[in-house]
Amino acid sequence: MLRKIVLATAITATALPTMVAAQEMSGKAQIAEILGVDGANFTLSELVELDQAVSMNDSETVTRILEENNSDLAAEQVIQGVTPESRQQIAVVYGQDYNVGKAQLAQEAGVEPQNFTLAQLVELNSAIDDNDEDAVQKVLDEAGVEQEAVTLLQ
């Protein structure tokens, strides 16, 4: 009996990271598909930022994100391609993958996910990508995290 428990635990420990990774990629791929972009060219953080920009009809931000990821799409194509129905699909994907995505964003930034909201993690990753020490510090301060921005920019 003990042998079966040990074997089951070992199998679960081996399979769990693979299942989590598959679920994470599934959500990323779904969001990319709904937005009409190639998910292979974007990080989850960039897709979330793109989705937020699309939902606010922010052509400037959409254009920047598309250009940074070498997309041939125009901002208006992406914005007009997202319908109310696809917005609902994205909300479902976010609900399914919220914790996994939040954990990935926190890992990318080098912080603990429980200290930040999803929006703060997206903003933090964007500030880190831009190497903007003031913006990084602003997010850290808003989250109540006592850490110097420079430690995340190294």
Domain that includes residue 102, residue range? 25-151
Residue 117 within any structural domain of the chain: yes
With a threshold of 0.75, does the pTM exceed it?
no
Residue 79 within any structural domain of the chain: yes
Residue 5 within any structural domain of the chain: no
Q: Give mean pLDDT, residues 75-97.
A: 78
* pLDDT value, residue 42: 92
41-68 pLDDT per residue, tens = 998 889 888 988 988 889 999 999 999 9
How does residue 29 score in pLDDT terms, banded at 50, 70 and 90? confident
Question: Are the C-beta atoms of 49 and 61 separated by less than 8 Å?
Answer: yes
- d(CA 93, CA 109) in angstroms, rounded, equals 22
Give the chain as a 3 state SS string: CHHHHHHHHHHHHHHHHHHHHHHHHHHHHHHHHHHCCCHHHCCHHHHHHHHHHHHCCCHHHHHHHHHHCCCCCCHHHHHHHCCHHHHHHHHHHHHHHHHHHHHHHHHHHCCCHHHCCHHHHHHHHHHHHCCCHHHHHHHHHHHCCCCCHHHCCC
Residues 6+ apart with CB under 8 A from 128: 109, 136, 152, 153
Higher-scoring residue by pLDDT: 111, 4: 111
Residue 107 within any structural domain of the chain: yes
* pLDDT value, residue 94: 66
Higher-scoring residue by pLDDT: 13, 153: 153
CA quadruple 83, 88, 93, 99: dihedral positive or negative? positive
90-106 pLDDT per residue, tens = 777 766 556 667 788 88
Question: Among 18-22, 46-50, 73-77, 111-115, which stretch is predicted with the lowest mean pLDDT?
Answer: 18-22
Examine the pLDDT at 9 and tell me if it is beyond 60: no
Examine the pLDDT at 84 and tell me if it is beyond 90: no
- d(CA 19, CA 60) in angstroms, rounded, equals 37
How does residue 24 score in pLDDT terms, banded at 50, 70 and 90? very low
Domains held by the chain: number = 1
* pLDDT value, residue 95: 66
Residue 48 within any structural domain of the chain: yes
Residue 87 within any structural domain of the chain: yes
Residue 144 within any structural domain of the chain: yes
